[in-house]
Amino acid sequence: MLVVLLVVGGAAILGGAYLFTNAVEWAGHRLGLGEGAVGTILAAVSTALPESIVPVVAVLRGGPDSDEVAIGAIVGAPFMLATIAMALVGITALAYSRRRQQGRTLEVHRPTLRRDLVFFLLLLTAALLLGIGGPAAIRYACAPLFVVAYGAYVVLTLRHGGEQQREDDLESLLADPSKHDPPATWMVAGQFGAGLALIIGGAHLFVEQLLAIAERLDASPLVLALLLAPLATELPEKVNSLFWIREGKDSLALGNITGAMVFQATLPVAIGVGLTDWKLDSFAILAALLALAGALLALWSLHLRRRFTVPAIIGWLALFVAFAVTVAV
């Protein structure tokens, strides 16, 4: 039964992502947002909700392991995005390179991509330094600064989010495309809500079954918090981006991941810094360092090289495997 429910949860995430990605494109077009802003804010924030709930629930529930679970979830989410999510997107681009008009070359809004990765590198480094030896007074003072930093990031992205998608490039799942009949606003809102509900509900079901399986295998709370829970809750970003990469919509695909990376390095970190002891152990420090390495690799491969390179994909997978082996041993 656990396996069946695991499959049902995964199917709900896939179906919800299919509805959600289409609705996000239409919503961004109706709001007059550039492709960079649509991916990094509208899509990223919405799909980042499942994993962001985990540390909040852990803090509110309390208990001897609450801080450990909260910190693990906060650090584990950006690690997953900067390693396995990037690798899966690269693999998808290679697999569909003949279908994509641009092949392996990236067609993204480069200022947005660069801004996302630089913000992430700076903010996660600050969180890491606070977790290694920051006094409580400094931590409490810095907590609201992470919220302010995300606000500044949103303003910059909205002002410089690239060109708006053309309506001719959008497909409607609700209206009749043969009549060139775009969906009404209420249809877009309904599809957006339905897709997001399926993603969150599917992710919750998936996580519950994954955690139940891990408990039967006698896995530690640290493994669950740092590895298994983020791996499951990051599925929405991965699946949404895979759909967009397949269709050649690179700005939306990469923005969905890098925007979620910035979100995870600010608002959840503010919760951790302000409401937990924020003492990072060796595993959490390793996860943060590998996440920074993954982001640097992304900056090199996706921004400077302007394509998905096989060495970069191997590098992202190696970072993930190295951490998984270290935690499991």
**C-alpha to C-alpha distance for 201 and 223, rounded to whole angstroms:** 23
| Tokens (6 digits) for 156 | 């910059």
Task: Output the CA angle 191-197-199, nearest 5 degrees.
Answer: 100
**Which pLDDT does position 230 carry in this prediction?**
72
**C-alpha to C-alpha distance for 79 and 292, rounded to whole angstroms:** 8
**Which pLDDT does position 86 carry in this prediction?**
92
Domain ranges of the chain: 36-163+220-328
Q: What is the DSSP letter of 287?
A: H
| Per-block mean pLDDT, blocks of 10 residues, the chain (329 long) | 76 73 73 70 70 69 70 88 91 86 79 90 96 88 95 85 52 51 77 79 69 68 68 67 84 86 93 90 92 94 77 94 85
In CATH, 36-163+220-328 is 3.40.630.10: no
Strand partners, 164: 34
**C-alpha to C-alpha distance for 271 and 137, rounded to whole angstroms:** 15
**C-alpha to C-alpha distance for 136 and 143, rounded to whole angstroms:** 11
**Which pLDDT does position 152 carry in this prediction?**
93
The model carries a pTM of 0.80
What phi and psi, each to the nearest 5 degrees, are found at residue 30? -65, -35
**C-alpha to C-alpha distance for 263 and 73, rounded to whole angstroms:** 14
CA distances from 111 to 39, 237, 288, 310 (A): 13, 21, 24, 24
**Which pLDDT does position 180 carry in this prediction?**
56
What phi and psi, each to the nearest 5 degrees, are found at residue 164? -75, 145
**Which pLDDT does position 253 carry in this prediction?**
84
